[in-house]
Amino acid sequence: MEYFDTLIVILQSTVRVSVPLILAALAGLYSERSGIFDIGLEGKMLAAAFAGGAAAAVTGSALIGLAAAIFVSVCLALVHGFASITQRGNQIVSGVAINFIALGATVILGQAWFRQGGRTPQLTGDARFTTVELPFAAEVADVPILGPIYSNLLSGHFVLTYVAFLLVPFTWWVLYRTRFGLRLRAVGENPGAVDTAGISVPWLRYRAVICCGILCGIAGAYLSMAMTAGFVKGMTAGKGFIALAALIFAKWKPINVMFACLLFGFLDAMSIRMQGNPLPLIGEVPVQFMQALPYILTVILLAGFIGKAVPPRAGGVPYVKER
């Protein structure tokens, strides 16, 4: 049972660290399916985390913090949309600019407003999301095997955790069972045909980047108001780029995105668990190597195990309407 309990703890940690990856990867899915590449996921998540943490600290309300996180993230998404869709600029450059702006602005504003080295004040009480216990979790906790799975693995997570996992089938339904999803996929493959059918390509892509902003906002709010109790500078720590890697690894399919993010989350959870613990035949491994392990394995997986990943054909190419 000791090994089983350890496995439950690792899987619980996997779920916890996978949530921002799932949200950010789904955000990128909406954007890139419409033909707008977005490597600014990291920046939008970071800005949203700061906005949510700051608003929650000032108002004492987690819901106001969530709204502020989504608002800031959507604003940055619209900036990216304006540069990429309206001005037909380089989408990679726009995304990089958003990352740099968020990285610098969060530290400067955090220091100017709170004088805590770029951090926000510690969140307590209603200013932070709390965990949710599922019905009968305490009663079945002592049941062998199934009890720990239900009470420790399925129960006891934040509301945003359940929202993230519910968004996976919802995104699948939107993409493959709705008119909006059909048009979204079509505009990412052949925007000229969509335009010929009388559908506005720019407006469809703007709606896609707004969806991207909303999901990045939720991911940022989760980082600063659920996973931790406040904003810390650079707290995204490359999660936006790992989410982008998971999106490519999953070949732009929602269900595959969830499993890819869970895989990367498992690697991250294992690296945390193994820090300071000696490995068989190797001994104790430096902490720095264990911290870098998820990123190393991300590169290895992308380089050698996914085969050919074919992005949407119109991705990254500004659409110019034929006259």
Q: Is 223 contained in some domain? A: yes
What are 199-248's pLDDT values in tens digits? 899 999 999 999 999 999 999 999 999 999 899 988 998 899 989 988 98
Q: Is 314 contained in some domain? A: no
Residues with Cβ < 8 Å from 29, sequence gap 6 or more? 171, 175, 247, 252, 254, 257
What are 46-91's pLDDT values in tens digits? 999 999 999 999 999 999 999 999 999 999 999 999 999 999 889 9
Strand residues in 179-311 grouped as ranges (E): none
Q: What is the mean pLDDT of each run of 10 residues along the chain (323 residues)?
A: 77 92 96 92 96 94 95 96 92 94 92 87 90 84 82 89 95 94 91 87 94 96 93 90 88 91 86 71 71 76 67 75 63
Q: Is 168 contained in some domain? A: yes
Q: Is 78 contained in some domain? A: yes
Q: Is 97 contained in some domain? A: yes
Q: Is 294 contained in some domain? A: no
Alpha-carbon distances of 231 from 49, 69, 81, 162, rounded to whole Å: 6, 12, 27, 22
For the chain, the domain total comes to 1
Q: Is 183 contained in some domain? A: yes
Q: Is 303 contained in some domain? A: no
The residue segments making up the domain with residue 204 are 20-129+147-237
Rounded CA-CA distance 319/287 in Å is 47
**Region for 251 from its dihedrals, namely left if φ exceeds 0, alpha if ψ lies in -120 to 50, beta otherwise:** left
